[in-house]
Amino acid sequence: MLPNFLFATGIENSCPTIDGGRFRMDELEKCGHIRHWRKDFELVQELGIGVLRYGPSITKSWLGPGRYDWEFADQTFGDLLRRDILPIVDLCHFGVPDWIGNFQNPDFPELFADYARAFAERFPWVQLYTPVNEMFICAEFSAMFGWWNEQQRSDRAFVTALKHLVRANVLAMRAILEMRSDALFVQSESSEYFHADSPKCIGPAEFRNARRFVSLDLNYGRRVDSEMYQYLTDNGMTREEYKAFMSNTMKHHCIMGNDYYITNEHRVCEDGTTCSSGEIFGYAVITHQYYERYRLPVMHTETNLVEGPDGQDAVRWLRKEWANVLRVRNDGVPVVGFTWYSLTDQVDWDSALRENNGHTNALGLYDLDRNIRNVGKAYRKLIRDWTSVLPTQSVCLQVPIVMPSEFEHGWSRERRRKAMESRRANHSSSHATDAPKNAD
């Protein structure tokens, strides 16, 4: 049965490398999901959650070009199907297998599309995907800040990583649609804002506030402004590559996922540095900025906060974020879901996965012993109280979500057939005439 509103959580599956690629920060291992996956799925159901951001271990599943080991994925996704939990499949979360190297590799997009196609072919009942998680953040942390993977620090490395990540996402969407014609894609991306510390900082802040949109601009085929176009081409993006991004016409298959944490707003200082400003505008204001730019249905795809000394900081943050979601929805934005990320505590995110310290971060609905936290109890009650009064309203859901248990139903097959016919017609139309583009 289709949930009225997509209340979700997630299993943290980040896996970037550090120390020059010599060590992998594998959160599926660190958080114990590899050992406790059955229990974790039980906990999802105990909370009354029907939607789970979840992905296979990319490093264990993807062994080489055209080579896959689906043993663990068969077990876990088979259990999700049995439980009728709707997964939003997270295929690439901050890392790639060692044999690919990192996000500077120009072969990554096409290879990743093959991986996505192979997954979709093996698990045809899966409908919702986040092919590449937080494309902007992955490029920034890997190639601008020098923290992960390639550990480079330059605009050129950042643009290179970003264009490869976005192209991988676009090609993966196309590949998945070949296997599942009614697939929907949730672009989980960090929603950012930069505040100028003084009048001297207005220019740098405006530049950063334009750059925060680049991953989604390229993914959705929306023209960037002239300054950002110059920035991209000055740092290695060719005109042909940019033109290819602008030809993307899959926006109508997408839900815009907005991630918001207390660290998502920044101060721009006079010396050119940035630091966290804490929450100033908040989720509602910033999400309106993204919605006005892309006009897509919205899902709040990530948030959390450390539990705190009195055990209530995370509960207060949950209530604040939920109030922001209701405000955005009541203002007319089609909000279709909300996510507390993640199901369990995480490990070493206090150093942004830069250091292998084994520090437990009390961010989950459950601790690492799988005991429920106060925020887990509060989220369970929130879901129980609000589920029946929040219908899913979204122009994106003209092709409705199909629960795993409904995949083989006749009406589901008919909808996939019609989706395939519509996609073929749109494809033919796009070849006959240039698709209109948005402009600033």
- Mean of the pLDDT values across residues 224-248? 97
Supply the DSSP symbol for 406. G
Cα separation, 323 vs 56, in Å, equals: 32
Residue 426 pLDDT level (bands cut at 50, 70, 90): low
Q: What is the DSSP string of 18-65?
A: ETTTTEE--HHHHTTHHHHHHHHHHHHHHTT--EEEE---HHHHEEET
- Mean of the pLDDT values across residues 298-303? 97
- Mean of the pLDDT values across residues 321-331? 96
Question: Which has more confidence, 67 or 4?
Answer: 67
Residue-range domain boundaries for the chain: 6-432
Answer whether residue 376 shows pLDDT above 60.
Answer: yes
Cα separation, 354 vs 154, in Å, equals: 18
pLDDT for 179:
97
Answer whether residue 435 shows pLDDT above 50.
Answer: no
- Mean of the pLDDT values across residues 290-305? 97
Question: Which has more confidence, 427 or 101?
Answer: 101
Cα separation, 58 vs 91, in Å, equals: 7
Bridge pairing between strands 67-68 and 360-361: unpaired
Per-residue pLDDT reduced to its tens digit, 74-108: 999 999 999 999 999 999 999 999 999 999 999 99
Residue 391 pLDDT level (bands cut at 50, 70, 90): low
Supply the DSSP symbol for 19. T
Answer whether residue 50 shows pLDDT above 70.
Answer: yes
Residue whose entry in the numeric block shows the structure tokens 């620090």: 153
Residue 1 pLDDT level (bands cut at 50, 70, 90): low
3-state secondary structure of 88: strand
Phi first, then psi, for residue 194 (nearest 5°) are -120, 125
Residue 2 pLDDT level (bands cut at 50, 70, 90): low
pLDDT for 18:
98
Cα separation, 252 vs 259, in Å, equals: 20
CATH homologous superfamily of 6-432: Glycosidases (3.20.20.80)
Question: Checking phi first, is residue 263 left (phi over 0); if not, alpha (psi -120 to 50) or beta?
Answer: alpha
- Mean of the pLDDT values across residues 13-39? 98
Structural contact between residues 367 and 346, judged by C-beta atoms closer than 8 angstroms? no
pLDDT for 419:
84
Residue 430 pLDDT level (bands cut at 50, 70, 90): low
Cβ atoms < 10 Å from Cβ of 315: 20
Alpha helices by DSSP H, listed for 194-238, are 202-211, 214-220, 226-234
Burial of 415 (0-12, 13-18, 19+ CB in 10 A): middle
3-state secondary structure of 341: coil
Q: State which amino acid sits at residue 433.
A: T
Query: Between 313-330 and 282-294, two packed helices, what is the crossing angle to 10 degrees?
Result: 40
% of residues, the chain, pLDDT over 90: 87
Cα separation, 29 vs 34, in Å, equals: 6
Residue 418 pLDDT level (bands cut at 50, 70, 90): confident
Answer whether residue 411 shows pLDDT above 60.
Answer: yes
Supply the DSSP symbol for 254. E
Gap between the terminal Cα atoms of the chain? 41
207: CB partners within 8 A, 6+ apart: 227, 231
pLDDT for 428:
62
Q: Average per-residue pLDDT in the chain? A: 93
Structural contact between residues 220 and 254, judged by C-beta atoms closer than 8 angstroms? yes
- Mean of the pLDDT values across residues 349-376? 98
